[in-house]
Chain A
Amino acid sequence: DIVMTQTPLSLSVIPGQPASISCKSSQSLLHSDGKTYLYWYLQKPGQPPQLLIYELSKRFSGVPDRFSGSGSGTDFTLKISRVEAEDVGIYYCMQSIHLPLTFGGGTKVEIK
Chain B
Amino acid sequence: EVQLVESGGGLVKPGGSLRLSCAASGFTFSSYSMNWVRQAPGKGLEWVSSLSGVGTFIYYVDSVKGRFTISRDNAKNSLYLQMNSLSAEDTGVYYCARDKGSGCPDYWGQGTLVTVSS
Contacts and interface: CB of A to CB of B under 8 A. Distances in A.
Interface residues of B, number: 22
B102 A92 contact: no
Contact of A96 (B37, B44, B45, B102): B102
B61 to A, nearest CB: 5
B104 interface: yes
Nearest to A37: B102
Contacts of B108: 48-50
A82 to B, nearest CB: 25
Interface in A1-47: 35, 37, 39, 41, 43, 47
B103 A60 contact: no
Contacts of B45: 41, 43, 49, 92, 94, 103, 106
Contacts of A39: 104
A45 to B, nearest CB: 12
For the residues of A in contact with B, the DSSP-based class is loop
Nearest to A103: B45
A78 to B, nearest CB: 15
Contact of B44 (A48, A50, A55, A92): A92
Given A99-B59, A100-B61, A51 B44 contact: no
Interface residues of A, number: 24
Interface string B33-58: 00101000000111100100000000
A39 B100 CA distance: 12
A103 B100 contact: no
Given A48-B95, A49-B108, A103 B47 contact: yes
A106 B44 contact: yes
Contacts of B106: 51, 54, 60
A54 B61 CA distance: 22
A101 interface: yes
Interface string B55-76: 0000101100000000000000
B111 interface: yes
